[in-house]
Structure 1
Amino acid sequence: MISFDEAVALVRQLSQPLATEQVPLDRAAGRVLARPVVAPRTAPAFPTSAMDGYAVRDSDLAQAPVKLRVAGESYAGRPFGKRAGPGTCVRIFTGAVVPPGFDRVVIQEQVGQSNGLAFFDRTPSGGRHIRPVGSDFFAGEAILPAGIVLTPQALIAAAGADVGEVCAVRQPRIAILATGDELAVPGTAHLRAGAVPDSVSVGIAALAEAFGGAVVLRLRIPDTLEALESGADEALACSDIVVVTGGASVGERDYARDMFRGHAMQPVFSKVAMKPGKPVWMSRAGARLVVGLPGNPGSALVTARLFLAPLVAGLSGRGAGLAWQWQSARLGENAPEVGDRETFYRGQLHEGRAVFVGNQDSSAQAALGVSRILIRRAAGAGVLPEGREVSFLPL
């Protein structure tokens, strides 16, 4: 059994980004850029109106009030397309090309129109309401740096540069094997005596995806070695990380490790001196990683947040450190003394202070549902009074 910090160090070593691949932009949300996005075109590529109004020459409005003939219209995507001489103006709309020779756009609220003539009461001043060529970016300019997560706003920037695909770090593929005769699809457990809803794999799948993974397989497998070995084979064939929930105890039907006996497994760690989650383990199977989580929901979620989330974040290119951003807060109540293992309490922030949720049992699910943070306390620590600082990790 190793310490929590030792386990963290081992996970960090394994959390290196996967290979890169070209990804169509409409499937790139949440991915990590492996190379900068360089604009292949200038934006705007032509002078563009920033308002609805009339394109005019300053020289024509120098002696306002004045009437100008409306030579035509310019729409976004449908430019005026002709030359208009002095003494004329062009009706123009936001995003449309400003015809050559025109100096500014006068907003439509300041212009009257009748019988093909536009009326200008005064000489305009101030903003010209024209976006110059390249005012956003120029061709060849790097508009998104490597290493960022492709957020909705980043995708807009890439698409606006007329980029159709990006080079991104490959998403880690996650297979989740929920083991146990008792497990049933949530919503159906009441139909079978002794059945328990499989709540753990639902939460673990959501957590893995939140940190950059793609869940490609979820299986519920009964406690027979033949079924478990078959599930292990299928999972290893399609994933980068296999997550096994349950079967990590010492009962005569706990086969979490035996199910991989047909594969060359190299242990990373087998137990961690922590509470909850002592039975958590990790191994390598060739290029694949196998993470064994306890079957109790609280233990499973805590260990997944502490070890699986950083692993997924690292492989996805986000960096394992993203999932280990410890923060501090003052206690809103006394913290109990700690036993002989480092302990992670489920809690919340109330008015900026860390408080504990009621039921800390590893099987508790209602309390887990309202938990927002993990409060970390060292093994053997005594009672810590209200108002003292503690470290916590957002859930």
Structure 2
Amino acid sequence: MRTLDEHRAVALALAAPLGAVETPLADALGLVLAEDVRTDEPLPRWDNSAMDGYAVRRADVLSVPVVLPVVVDLPAGSADEAVVAQGTAARIMTGAPIPAGADAVVPVEETDGGTTHVQIRVTPVPAAHVRRAGEDAVPGDLVLVAGAELRPPHLAALASTGRATALVHRRPRIAVVSTGDELVAPGTPVRRGQLPDSNSWLLAAAVTDAGATALRLGPVADDPAALLALLLELDADESVDGIVTSGGVSMGAFDVVKAALLAQPGVEFVPVAVQPGKPQGLGRLPAGTPIWTLPGNPVSSFASFELFVRPAVRRMLGFASVERPAVAAVADEGWRTPPGRAQLMPVRFVRDDRVAPATARGSGSHLVARLAQAQGLAVVPAEVDEVLVGDTLHVLKVVP
């Protein structure tokens, strides 16, 4: 039986950062930068005003109050190459270029002004309210480092350098296939023995949450030949970067995924010493597409995706750190753990640093309705037979 850490390593090894593409800034949020970005120009590009007010020669306003004629209006964005001669002022808005001759800005609230003349009531300090060209960055300065996840401030920095696109690792497209004759689409009347298909929605949402694009397919009937044909079709599709299936990987007579793929030399099915999620499969299809085959019980699918698939998707995106944020939390309740197997216990935070099982039924693999209460997964090592109140746990935060 493979250990949890061993299987995590094998699952992650199926992934590598995808190629870099130029992407419009509007589509780059959350993607990973594939190159260092330097500025070719000073930022700001020219001296400009930090305030609405009047650009003056400081020597003209050493003795106040003083009245100066206003020779020009300079709104933000003005291309006017104005000059403030001795004994004059320019009315200026925040962001407008400082006119030649001026060396300070007097805020409008420190004046009694108009469009033709202004009374300056306060002598400004040298270079008051003047933003100097290049004080943010000079040509050649490193603005962003390859590997950065592009968040709103990063996009602003890119735009400030004049770039309309970013070179990023492209977003992977992951196909999600749920299997089982018993599954029906949500909203369809359910007869005895049937279940609404929740797994494809769970896993497609998890793929999207990880930063990839989900292609949701299913439910697919328990027909090994038809399933294999679908998987090989996805494998041949160059737009598909990975496949996740749920269900049909255990030892039952109708385990369709295992029946469909057992003869594929690049795919293996192994028991993993973990609860929930013991039956697992993974590998590569003939054209090289990685596939992760997860158990069908919803909590098993959820926990398996979090531990085995999500890190691989994050690696495809180009992230150096692919794990969920982890915290040390104290057990507010105790519970038994399965002998010889690591446990992935869905937990909720009862206080900032204390957790309890998300439901009274613990880590039961079928408890899909109760799974909504989970805020984290407590990873309990295989050598621990019982979690006691007050024990410190390693918890992956699945809800920010």
TM-score category, normalised to shorter length: over 0.9
Q: Is the aligned partner of 1:391 residue 2:394?
A: yes
Give the match for residue 106 of structure 1: 106
Q: Is the aligned partner of 1:356 residue 2:354?
A: no
The answer to whether the 8 A contact 1:41-1:138 is kept is yes
The answer to whether the 8 A contact 2:184-2:190 is kept is no
The answer to whether the 8 A contact 2:25-2:165 is kept is yes
| Residue 390 to residue 261, structure 1, CA distance change in 2 (3 Å) | closer
The answer to whether the 8 A contact 1:74-1:92 is kept is yes
User: Deviation at 1:54?
Assistant: 0.8
The answer to whether the 8 A contact 1:40-1:163 is kept is no
| Residue 115 to residue 2, structure 1, CA distance change in 2 (3 Å) | closer
* Greater CA drift, 110-119 or 379-388: 379-388
Matches within 5 A, 1:115-134: 116-125=116-125, 128-134=128-134
Query: What per-residue deviation string (whole Å, max 9, x for no partner) do you get for residues 187-244 of structure 1?
Result: x133666542222122212222222322245343222234323321332223111011
User: What runs of 5+ residues in structure 2 fail to find an aligned partner?
Assistant: none
Q: SS at 1:257's partner residue? A: helix
Give the match for residue 200 of structure 1: 199
Q: How many angstroms apart in 2 are the aligned matches of 1:109 and 1:38? A: 38
Q: Is the aligned partner of 1:255 residue 2:256?
A: yes
Q: How many angstroms apart in 1 are the aligned matches of 2:75 and 2:63? A: 28
Alignment-mate amino acid for residue 223 of structure 2: T
Q: SS at 1:313's partner residue? A: helix
| Residue 198 to residue 126, structure 1, CA distance change in 2 (3 Å) | farther
User: Deviation at 1:43?
Assistant: 1.4
Query: What per-residue deviation string (whole Å, max 9, x for no partner) do you get for residues 86-126 of structure 1?
Result: 11111111111111111111111111124611011232237
Give the match for residue 3 of structure 2: 3
User: Deviation at 1:85?
Assistant: 1.5
Q: How many angstroms apart in 1 are the aligned matches of 2:147 and 2:318? A: 7
The answer to whether the 8 A contact 1:189-1:195 is kept is no
Query: What per-residue deviation string (whole Å, max 9, x for no partner) do you get for residues 108-165 of structure 1?
Result: 1111124611011232237711110011112222200011111111111111111122
Alignment-mate amino acid for residue 303 of structure 1: S
Give the match for residue 190 of structure 1: 189
Q: Is the aligned partner of 1:273 residue 2:244?
A: no
Give the match for residue 222 of structure 2: 223
The answer to whether the 8 A contact 1:57-1:86 is kept is yes
| Residue 334 to residue 126, structure 1, CA distance change in 2 (3 Å) | farther
| Residue 83 to residue 142, structure 1, CA distance change in 2 (3 Å) | same
| Residue 91 to residue 316, structure 1, CA distance change in 2 (3 Å) | same
Q: SS at 2:229's partner residue? A: helix
The answer to whether the 8 A contact 1:204-1:304 is kept is yes
| Residue 58 to residue 276, structure 1, CA distance change in 2 (3 Å) | same
The answer to whether the 8 A contact 1:46-1:97 is kept is yes
The answer to whether the 8 A contact 1:189-1:196 is kept is no
Alignment-mate amino acid for residue 156 of structure 1: A
Q: SS at 1:292's partner residue? A: strand
The answer to whether the 8 A contact 1:240-1:287 is kept is no
Q: How many angstroms apart in 2 are the aligned matches of 1:207 and 1:115? A: 60
The answer to whether the 8 A contact 1:15-1:312 is kept is yes
| Residue 225 to residue 338, structure 1, CA distance change in 2 (3 Å) | closer
Give the match for residue 245 of structure 1: 246
Alignment-mate amino acid for residue 307 of structure 1: F
Q: SS at 1:162's partner residue? A: coil
Give the match for residue 310 of structure 1: 311
| Residue 123 to residue 325, structure 1, CA distance change in 2 (3 Å) | closer
Give the superposed CA RMSD: 2.2
The answer to whether the 8 A contact 2:294-2:301 is kept is yes
Query: What per-residue deviation string (whole Å, max 9, x for no partner) do you get for residues 23-56 of structure 1?
Result: 2222211111111112232211111111111111
Q: SS at 1:345's partner residue? A: strand
TM-score (norm 1): 0.92
User: Deviation at 1:327?
Assistant: 3.0
Q: SS at 1:26's partner residue? A: helix
Give the match for residue 338 of structure 1: 338
The answer to whether the 8 A contact 2:50-2:130 is kept is yes
Give the match for residue 375 of structure 1: 378
